[in-house]
Amino acid sequence: MPRDQRGTGPEAPAFGRSVPRREGRAKLEGRGEYVDDLVLPDMWFGATIRSRVARGKIEEIVFAKDVPWDEYVIVTARDIPGKNSVLLLLEDQPYLADGVVNHPEEAVLLVAHPDRHALERARRGIEIRTSPLPPLFDLEDSLAKKLVIWGEDNVFKAIDIVKGDVDSAFRDPSLVVVEGVYHTGAQEQLYIEPNGVIAAYDAKEGVTVWGSLQCPYYVHKALKPLFGLSPDKIRVIQMETGGGFGGKEEYPSMIAGHAALLAYKANKPVKLIYDRAEDMVATTKRHPSRTRHRTAVTKAGKLVAMDIDFALDGGAYATLSAVVLSRGAIHAGGAYECPNVRIKARAVATNHPPHGAFRGFGAPQSIFAVERQLDLVAKTLGMSPEALRRANFLQRGGHTATIQEVKEDPELDRLMQRAFELSGYAQKRPALTAQNAAAKTGRIRKGIGFASFMHGAGFTGSGEKLLGSEAAVEATPDGRVRVLAASTEIGQGTNTVFAQIVADALGLPYDAVEVAQPDTKFVPDSGPTVASRTVMVVGKLVENAAKGLKGTLREAGLLEDVYDHAAFRTACGAYLAKHAALKSVAKYQQPTGIVWDDKKYLGDAYATFAWAVYVAEVSIDLDTYATTVDDFWAIQEAGRIVHPILAAGQIEGGVAQGVGFALYEGVVWKEGRMANASMTNYIVPTAVDAPRIHVEFVEKDAPYGPGRGAKGIGELPMDGAAPAIAAAMEHALGIAVTRVPCLPEDLFALLEGGRS
Amino acid sequence: MSSIDLVVNGEKRRVEARPMERLLDVLREELRLTGTKEGCGEGECGACSVLLDGRLVNSCLIPVLQAEGADVRTIEGVEKTPTGKALQDAFLACGGAQCGICTPGMVLAAVYLLDKNPRPTGEEIRDGLAGNICRCTGYTKIFDSVAAAAKALHDEGSTR
């Protein structure tokens, strides 16, 4: 039915309308069921006994004599029925350390007891005696192979992207060459619900796990070899999940394995919930990075060559580092046209706990570097940062660093113009400069800065083709429609947008569609809930599945051209009177014209990009060295917006995490271990720290995604805040902020360090 | 173990608990009121916020003994109060809840704020919610929700 014929009531098209969040009422009344809320009969509780040292040989495990060990179930690597490795990309990370430990807090033993309060006694009663091996904590030391701790050379993944001829360009004496080095720190996802899983084992049913997780089929894949069981003997159910941000992408496979091993040995369901300290100290964080830039530019400000060396600290095991590096490397050249680009990217091992997925997945690191570098280039040339950007923005027909032809029109000029209009950037920039100059003896300095950038939606390169995701839609005899997908609701609104998309595809009211709880027994593998792919990729699949279901009813002669909900209901009833099921499955088909060369790392890295310009306004207190973000504008193009309030919520939340990444969230490392693993000492933005965030979507049709085209937006906002804030700080103080987080003590060192 | 009497969401309850057990655990495990969430266990995040004799507290920091004879209100009892209902409606309409784990505590903090100060300014809303961490929303939609609830309650009051 055409969009406009259903009016604005409950029958109106749902796409583009801020319908109520599907599970919102339950969450607001405290009825959402999270894993820790679930109690199974005769359930035991588990705990993980971890390494205290960064690297060493396990010599002996000593059990205190005064603990009644017969009450406990204890699991070591020797109890593992299948393979002791967490299957993801490589198989280097054990579920339980066997003989050696490679990072602090590595899991060595598991214990379970019927009384949760008895676990602490066991924890204190087990001593893991190790003989130390020399540890490696520094990224540069790892690159230089000062010590080899992983493989032959510490390198988890090496990527080299070459466009044009960088070396020739640098030999051109007419060009200006600018060099800079940039660093970003580890960042904790800090979802407010810590990680947790419940597992049960049954000889007939196999392993069942209920968990707080993003990717049910990652856990499913990881548990099969651990137990040597067939796929039908592993069942993974996602409970309501209290935030993920990447932090519940891969690590839940580890916890699920632990809980399942305990359940298997105890023959009881086992609940394994991390407390905050354990979650912070043991689970993954954003990869710390170092990026070197060497840029050759004409005196008029045209980029000629970019030579970029991008390195990530992957921690002790490979986990997802290869793909984090990939996204970071592909985004390292930014949203700019440059004929000659060389990106050398390396993810290397250290004896930190493995770093992992966190919103943005490598891009916030490399985009921080390229945006800061462009500001430095502008300053060197005596140009304004905006004039330099305008001279180099990617345009339709241009080519990214991977020589991907830009087929859409990014219109970054237009986004910048809009961002400047809303923020008053052009007036404020000189006004604040004058105000700062006049305030010589005052405490407060103010600045305004921006970043322009893009973020690729979906898996990189051939990733989506290899995933081959599926989603399904089914209907009941009374015309109720259910979406079956493994994409998880983790706060971002999956349930709501899937219901909207399917309602529109079937011409039904939003309330007529429900979304099934992700349970691998019932939902197909839609791939992981990551990479800004849920709306664009899986949303398109559920739309296709819904269209397929409608096609089935039409082909059966049960549905007219134009129909209402009652007629749909009748059609479903009639169909199901003759057939066992009314279900339609859609499988991902790579759109034509997407070509990626994984060997050369060139071609269409992403089906499409979202584009953005963000502006930050800051105040800096010269007595406390505290930086406050006073105001923030986030302007982006991400195709058509399915749900304006949810979409704005994604941007606002990502920006706030970016504010934390820039100004507050410093992980303190001590012998490879997070020393400030508590919410008292690791500071994220509170209600009084977060700026007012003004969000605007410049909407247009897009070639991919459901409806008239919708691009991924989950990660985009994480990329822009830190470089915009750093640029504003530089404007306020005239110093280069090349490293985030920039805490008050860091700013103090930057400003006063030279003087002492 | 001790017998402890308290009033929870208007109902008299007696629990058998260790005196130093956290009110949070008694609510969740003994009374099965699992809407109160644990985020940090150290009084920083506010996910476990409840009202104890009308005061906003972190239930992870309250030994249950301290709640003897007290009136406890949790998220499960919020719907029954006009302020609570208005806030729940506004959070749903304005997008103030995403993953939902901070939401119960956030709603209780907002109930406490609006009951004390029915027309808070933007700054007062920020201050009132400063003890409750949300990692999803960036707070903007939470501020909008609280302001909308205050307005709805005011408009309702003025039409009576």
State the CB neighbour count (10 A cutoff) for residue A398: 15
The pLDDT of residue B156 is 86
Q: What is the pLDDT of residues A501-520, one digit of tens each?
A: 999 999 999 999 999 999 99
Contact A36 B36 (CB under 8 A): no
Q: How far is B83 from chain A (nearest CA, A)?
A: 13
CA distance B89 to A27: 12
**Which of A27, A248, A534, A693 to mutate against chain B (most B CBs within 10 Å)?**
A27
Distance CA A53, CA A672 (A): 9
- Using CA atoms, how far apart are residues A371 and A450, in angstroms rounded to an integer? 9
pLDDT digit string, tens, across residues B41-55:
999 999 999 999 999
Segment 632-651 of chain A within 8 Å of chain B by CB: 645-646, 648-649
Backbone angles phi, psi at A471, to 5 degrees: -145, 160
For A644, the 3-state DSSP assignment is helix
Split at pLDDT 50, 70, 90, the class of A680 is: very high
* Per-residue confidence band for A754, with pLDDT thresholds at 50, 70 and 90: low
CA angle (B118 as vertex; B117, B123 as ends), nearest 5: 60
Q: And the tokens for A744?
A: 């008050």
Q: Count of CB contacts below 8 A, A vs B?
A: 162
Average pLDDT over all residues of chain A? 96
Interface mutation vs chain A, best among B38, B81, B94, B99, most A CBs within 10 Å: B99
Distance CA A696, CA A499 (A): 24
A492 CA: distance to closest CA in chain B (Å)? 6
Question: Which of B139, B142, B144, B146 should be substituted to probe chain A, the one whose Cβ sees the most A Cβ atoms within 10 Å?
Answer: B139
Chain A residues close to B146, C-beta within 8 Å: none
pLDDT above 50: residue A4: no
Give the CA distances from residue B78 to residues A254, A710, B13, B108, in Å, rounded to whole numbers and listed in that order: 37, 38, 17, 8
Compute the distance between CA of residue A338 and CA of residue A296 in angstroms, rounded to an integer.
10
Binding-face residues of A in 669-688 toward B, CB within 8 A: 678-680, 684-688
Which pLDDT band holds residue A82 (cuts at 50, 70, 90)? very high
Beta strands in A185-231 (DSSP E): 196-202, 206-211
Dig out the tokens for A27 from the structure: 């969450």
**3-class secondary-structure state, position B90:** helix
Residues 225-254, chain A, touching B (beta carbon < 8 A) = 240-245
Nearest residue in chain A measured CA to CA from B91:
A28
Inform me whether the C-beta atom of residue A153 falls under 8 Å from chain B C-beta atoms.
Answer: no
What secondary structure does DSSP assign to A626-651, as a single string?
-EEEEEEEEEEE-BS-S-HHHHHHHH
Residue A353 DSSP class: P
Neighbours of A263 (CB within 10 A): 30
Percent of chain A whose predicted confidence (pLDDT) is above 70 = 98
Strand partners, A99: none
pLDDT tens digit sequence for A375-407: 999 999 999 999 999 999 999 999 999 999 999
Chain A residues closer than 8 Å to B138 by CB? 649, 652-657, 685, 690, 693
Choose the closest CB to B130 out of A240, A245, A686: A686
pLDDT of the residue at A529: 97
How does pLDDT run across A460-479, given as a tens digit for each residue?
999 999 999 999 999 999 89
Backbone angles phi, psi at A24, to 5 degrees: -65, -45
> B44: which chain A residues are within 8 Å (Cβ-Cβ)?
678-680
Residues 431-470 (A) with a CB less than 8 A from some CB of B: none
Residue A53 confidence class, pLDDT cut points 50, 70, 90? very high
Higher pLDDT, B159 or A33: A33
Q: What is the largest CA-CA distance in chain A?
A: 86
Asked if the Cβ–Cβ distance from B103 to A243 is below 8 Å, we say no
**Nearest residue on chain B to A359, judged by CA atoms?**
B136
Listed by number, the residues of chain A in 489-528 with a beta carbon closer than 8 Å to a beta carbon of chain B are 490-493
Residue B29 distance to chain A (closest CA, Å): 9
Question: How many angstroms separate the CA atoms of A221 and A209, rounded?
Answer: 13
Question: By the CB < 8 Å criterion, does A753 face chain B?
Answer: no
Tell which residue, A305, A400, A292, A304, has the closest CA to residue A346.
A292
In angstroms, what separates the C-alpha of A681 from chain B's closest C-alpha? 10
Residue type at position A124: R
Q: What pLDDT sits at residue B157?
A: 82
Burial class (CB in 10 A: 0-12, 13-18, 19+), A752: exposed
Q: Alpha carbon of A112 to those of A66, A73, A106, A200, A277: distances in Å?
A: 17, 5, 18, 13, 19
Q: Binning pLDDT at 50, 70 and 90, where does residue A591 land?
A: confident
- Bridge partners of A180, per DSSP, are A293
A490 closest CB neighbour out of B34, B74, B99:
B99
> Is A624 in CB contact (< 8 Å) with chain B?
no
Sheet containing A739-740: order of strands:
A155-163, A340-349, A303-315, A289-297, A176-184, A739-740
Task: Return the residue matching tokens 């949810």.
Answer: A646
- Tally of CA atoms within 13 A in the half-sphere of A90 that contains its CB: 15
In terms of C-beta density within 10 A (0-12 exposed, 13-18 middle, 19 or more buried), how is residue A265 classed? middle
Query: pLDDT-based confidence at A305, cuts 50/70/90?
Result: very high
User: Which residue does chain B place closest to A491, by CA atoms?
Assistant: B99
Query: Does the distance separating the beta carbons of A193 and B37 come in below 8 Å?
Result: yes
Spatial separation of the C-alpha atoms in residues A485 and B126, rounded to whole Å: 38
CB pair distance less than 8 Å for A492 and B98? yes
Q: Is A215 on the interface with B (CB under 8 A)?
A: no
Is A568 within 8 Å of A552 (Cβ atoms)? no
For residues A405 and A397, the answer to whether their CB atoms sit within 8 Å is: yes
Is residue B108 a contact partner of residue B51, using CB atoms and an 8 Å limit? yes
Residues A90 and A278: their CA atoms lie apart, in Å, by 25
Residue of B nearest to A195 (CA): B39
User: Quick check: helix, strand or coil at residue A420?
Assistant: helix
Pick from B42, B76, B140: which is nearest to A30 by CB?
A: B76
Cβ contact A335:A200 at 8 Å: no
**Which of A211, A194, A197 minimizes the C-alpha distance to A518?**
A211
- Residues on chain A touching B75 (C-beta within 8 angstroms): 29-30
Is the Cα dihedral A392, A396, A605, A499 positive or negative?
positive
User: How far is the C-alpha of A74 from the C-alpha of A67, rounded, in Å?
Assistant: 13
Q: Are residues B35 and A31, on separate chains, in Cβ contact within 8 Å?
A: yes
What was the pLDDT predicted at A9? 61
- Residue A120 at interface with chain B, using a CB cutoff of 8 Å: no
pLDDT band at A34 (very low <50, low <70, confident <90, very high): very high
Q: How far apart are CA A368 and CA A415, in angstroms?
A: 19
* Alpha-carbon span A524 to A471, nearest angstrom: 6
- Kindly give, in sequence order, each residue whose CB lies less than 8 Å from that of residue A439, ignoring residues fewer than 6 positions away: A445
Could you read off the pLDDT of A682-722 as tens digits, one per residue?
A: 999 999 999 999 999 999 999 999 999 999 999 999 999 99
In this prediction, residue B160 carries a pLDDT of: 57
Contact B138 A690 (CB under 8 A): yes
Rounded Cα–Cα distance for residues A375 and A423 (Å):
19
CB spacing of A243 vs B101 below 8 angstroms: yes
pLDDT at residue A7 above 90? no
Q: Name the token pair of A99.
A: 């003989």
Q: Count CB-CB contacts under 10 A for residue A731.
A: 24
Using one digit for the tens of pLDDT, what is the confidence trace for B99-153? Answer: 999 999 999 999 999 999 999 999 999 999 999 999 999 999 999 999 999 999 9
Structure tokens at A81: 């029925």
Residue A400 region, left (φ>0) first, then alpha (ψ -120 to 50), else beta? Answer: beta
* B62 Cα to chain A: minimum distance (Å): 18
Q: Which two tokens stand for residue A445?
A: 């300095």
Q: By CA distance, what is A659's nearest residue in B?
A: B138
Distance CA A79, CA A420 (A): 62
Cβ atoms B128, B149 nearer than 8 A:
no
Closest-CA distance, A407 to chain B, in angstroms, reads 33
Q: What percent of chain A has pLDDT over 90?
A: 96
Chain length of chain B: 160
- Residues of A whose CB is below 8 A from B30: none
CB atoms within 10 A of CB A472: 24
Q: What gap in Å lies between CA A34 and CA A438, rounded to an integer? A: 55
Q: Does A275 touch chain B (CB under 8 A)?
A: yes
N- to C-terminal Cα separation, chain B: 50
Facing residue for B135 by CB, picked from A190, A492, A687: A190
**What mean pLDDT comes out for the span A540-565?**
97
